[in-house]
Amino acid sequence: MSQNQDFNPAKEVLPWLTALAFFMQALDGTILNTALPAIAKDFNQSSLQMQSVVISYTVTLAILIPLSGWLSDRYGTKKIFTLSVVLFTFGSVLCAFSYDIFNLVCARIIQAAGGAMMVPVARLAILYTYPKNQLLRVMNFITIPGLVGQVVGPSLGGFLSDYYSWHWVFLINIPIGIIGVVLTQKKMPNITKPVGKFDGLGLLYISTTIVALTVIMELISLGITKWTYLTGAILLTFIAIILYIKRSRKHPKPIIDLTLFKVDTLRIGLLGNLFTRLGVGGMPFLLPLLLQVGYGHSAAISGLMLIPSALANMLAKYAVVPLIQRFGYRTVLITNTLILAFIITSFSLTDKSTPLLYFIPLMLFFGSANSIQMSSMNTITIADLNNDTASSGNSLLAIMQQLSNSFGVSIAALILSLMPSFSATTMSTADAFKYTFITIGVITALSSLVFGNLKPTAGSDLSGR
């Protein structure tokens, strides 16, 4: 391993740079949701069909995350982190100056290209710089700004959209990005490691699979059900998967090591992530739309109502370890998944006359259950990985998280758009939301069956039981 500058300055500033990356990504992920109706109005689009703006970002993240580690080791943490922040900031500028949904989606892809490298590279620099006995303290520190971004994002997005314009949702990233670049140039070490040849063909097959699956979701959600399009996308998906399986068996270091699926906790954790997020992943997209489009509240009010969920998400983090130590992963995940499904379904009991105060406990319960769910799923997934498989397993988890989140948004948008077709009479927008919440609640409940495959002692070494 080599590096171009001394480590001492990095130990002072590196955690702050990593925290800044977490904050930028978390803020961008939440601030946009409350601004989507305003953007849709400006572009003469339906607010219910703006999911491509969210999905284009998350899919790009899923595609490029495997590339970030190799680029960082090959060219250095400082160079790649600088590039990632510049790309993210430049993409934000392009988003602000977009004049239609096509341009906005293209700009979001550029923004995501930076976001895909920003957090993983910064976290990698932390792992290379700090000894293991300090990592827990540093990791806890760098995740707090991400949680703060989730708290600030919804209300800030609503405030900017109502009182200024949606363009500021993206322009706010510019000063943060400039600060990040300046600090990186002054303090971040440029750590490199020897790397082998990158599996570009493997990345192409995986990318094709991800994009093809997303296209299938998008075509259906937009009402485009021509068999020629759908059959072509499905066929492309299967071909890409088969080609990758053959490729991974021959390549010495495949992007995704398929032999990892033999690890029970990893396999069950990944499947649990996928199916749970198919329900939960659409909630950040649905809730602002429910309050604004369904019930006629302002973007500012919509943003404020999301704060309790974000605060509860942050506070519930401290309950995860005691719960798992007391009951174990299997019991916690099965029970909490069902609780989460019940809370999601409870949103269907609201209507336009429902007092806003009613939403506060719902948001609190949802944020708490969601926090416990994500922390438990993510840790059980990597519980049985060793030093040789930790890097590949962690990358696989990151890809699954991003991909399942984008599918969650697609599923939510698809169900919402299809609901009126199941009614014999004209269905109101509010009723369409009502039945959508019931449906994704059922999907979430069914995902608990996945966690039933965990052994009662699964993750006991990790939890200290």
CA angle 95/99/101 to nearest 5° reads 75
Show Cβ contacts of residue 182 under 8 Å, excluding neighbours closer than 6 positions: none
The pair phi, psi for residue 192, each rounded to 5°, is: -125, 160
CB 206 within 8 A of CB 63: yes
CB 125 within 8 A of CB 263: no
Q: If you ran DSSP here, which 8-state letter would residue 4 be given?
A: S
CB 164 within 8 A of CB 227: no
Helix 356-381 and helix 390-418: axis angle, to 10°? 150
pLDDT reported for residue 146:
64
- The letter for the amino acid at 154 is P
Q: How far apart are the C-alpha atoms of 305 and 358, rounded to whole Å?
A: 10
Q: Domains of the chain: which residue ranges?
A: 1-196, 197-252, 257-465
CB 202 within 8 A of CB 255: yes
CATH code, residues 257-465 = 1.20.1250.20
β-strand partners of 2 = 192
- The letter for the amino acid at 161 is S
Q: In this structure, how many other beta carbons lie within 10 angstroms of the beta carbon of residue 114?
A: 25
CB 219 within 8 A of CB 232: no
pLDDT reported for residue 449:
93
Q: How far apart are the C-alpha atoms of 237 and 231, rounded to whole Å?
A: 10
Q: Which helix (H) or strand (E) holds 349?
A: none
How buried is 209 (Cβ within 10 angstroms: 0-12 exposed, 13-18 middle, 19+ buried)? buried
* Cβ burial 377-407 (10 Å sphere, 16+ → b, else e): bbbbbbbbbeeebeebbbbbbbbbbbbbbbb
- The letter for the amino acid at 172 is I
Tokens 């739309």 belong to residue: 289
Q: How far apart are the C-alpha atoms of 245 and 201, rounded to whole Å?
A: 12
CATH code, residues 1-196 = 1.20.1250.20
Q: How far apart are the C-alpha atoms of 192 and 186, rounded to whole Å?
A: 18
pLDDT reported for residue 136:
47
1-196 and 257-465, same CATH topology: yes
Q: Going residue by residue through the chain, which has 465 residues, state the pLDDT in tens, using 9 for 90 and above.
A: 444 444 444 566 777 877 788 778 777 766 777 777 788 888 887 765 676 787 778 778 777 877 877 788 788 888 899 999 999 999 999 998 988 888 888 998 999 889 888 877 877 777 677 765 565 466 556 666 666 666 667 667 777 777 788 888 888 889 888 988 888 887 787 877 777 777 888 888 888 887 787 777 666 655 555 667 778 878 888 998 899 888 888 877 777 778 888 888 888 888 888 888 888 888 877 887 888 877 887 777 877 787 788 788 778 877 877 888 888 888 999 999 999 999 999 988 888 888 888 888 998 999 889 888 887 887 787 777 665 665 667 677 777 777 777 778 778 877 887 776 666 566 677 788 888 899 999 999 999 999 988 888 776 665 555
